[in-house]
């Protein structure tokens, strides 16, 4: 019995060592040495993006609140700018209002990766990770609010209800500024994809090494991630699968 108990303890210790080695290898729990500004940076990356370009259009549909604000600030704006509702029927106004609220809600996406971001911050009883995470989130939302409100208010102030769904569409010049803005959107989307895909990578690699008993290594990580990204690109460029890819990305 003693030997069996000792053997069981030995197996249990080995399992604990293997679990620790796996957690040290998995992307989210590998290095828990992030600081609060890491949290702020990744939260901003996850939230601020292409969605900000639709905020001026959302402001044009929200109605009298932003409209009155912009009317007060409208000195010097071209005289043909109209801040009234675009829709003429009650149903149209209601649906446009709800759609605008959806645009605003979509612009503040990123909450689905908050816990994964917090998992990279070291946590002890004396210094729990929630303190650093809260500080990073506050800073991130201040930056996000500055970006969003600036684009939303100024875009609506300049174009009124004639603003397009994407503020870049209505701009005609200077061409270099539009090109730079589109380039930054692409750069951001590439970076944000890494933040959003990391929980998926962690889940896939956890399944491979914990359930299927693959050996943790760089080759396994490279192959699994390449297959996932390749399938995602395939879904994007396949018309019937675009809806699935959009759902998976959200």
Query: How far apart, in whole angstroms, are the C-alpha atoms of residue 71 and residue 157?
Result: 8
pLDDT attached to residue 79: 58
For 77-98, the pLDDT digits (tens) are 555 666 677 777 888 878 888 8
Check pLDDT > 50 for residue 64. no
Hey, where are the domains in the chain?
Answer: 27-172
- The contacts of residue 56 (CB under 8 Å, 6+ apart) are 151, 152, 154, 155, 156, 159, 163, 167
How far is C-alpha 169 from the chain's CA centre? 23
Query: How far apart, in whole angstroms, are the C-alpha atoms of residue 240 and residue 242?
Result: 6
Lowest average pLDDT, out of 8-22, 115-129, 164-178, goes to 8-22
Q: What proportion of the chain, given as a percentage, has pLDDT over 90?
A: 0
* Omega before 174 within 30 of 0, i.e. cis: yes
Mean pLDDT of the chain: 71
The answer to whether the pTM exceeds 0.75 is no
> What value does the mean pLDDT take over residues 71-76?
46
Query: How far apart, in whole angstroms, are the C-alpha atoms of residue 67 and residue 65?
Result: 5
Question: Coil, strand, or helix at residue 182?
Answer: helix
């Amino acid at each position: 019995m003693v030997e069996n108990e000792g053997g069981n303890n030995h197996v249990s210790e080995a399992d604990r060592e293997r679990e620790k080695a796996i957690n040290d290898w998995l992307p989210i729990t590998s290095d828990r040495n992030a600081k609060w500004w890491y949290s702020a940076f990744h939260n901003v990356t996850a939230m601020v993006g292409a969605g900000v370009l639709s905020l001026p259009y959302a402001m044009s549909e929200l109605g009298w609140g932003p409209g009155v604000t912009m009317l007060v600030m409208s000195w010097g704006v071209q005289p043909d700018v109209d801040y009234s509702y675009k829709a003429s029927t009650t149903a149209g106004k209601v649906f446009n209002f709800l759609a605008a609220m959806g645009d605003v809600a979509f612009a503040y996406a990123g909450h689905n990766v908050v816990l994964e971001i917090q998992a990279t911050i070291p946590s002890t009883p004396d210094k729990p990770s929630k303190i650093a995470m809260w500080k990073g989130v506050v800073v991130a939302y201040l930056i996000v609010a500055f970006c969003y409100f600036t684009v939303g208010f100024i875009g609506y102030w300049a174009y009124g209800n004639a603003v397009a769904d994407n503020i870049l569409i209505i701009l005609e010049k200077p061409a270099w500024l539009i090109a730079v803005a589109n380039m930054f959107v692409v750069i951001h989307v590439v970076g944000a994809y890494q933040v959003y895909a990391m929980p998926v990578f962690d889940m896939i690699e956890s399944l491979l090494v914990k359930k299927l008993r693959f050996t943790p290594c760089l080759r396994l990580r490279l192959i699994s991630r390449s297959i996932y990204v390749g399938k995602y690109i395939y879904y994007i460029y396949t018309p019937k699968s675009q809806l699935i890819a959009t759902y998976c990305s959200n």
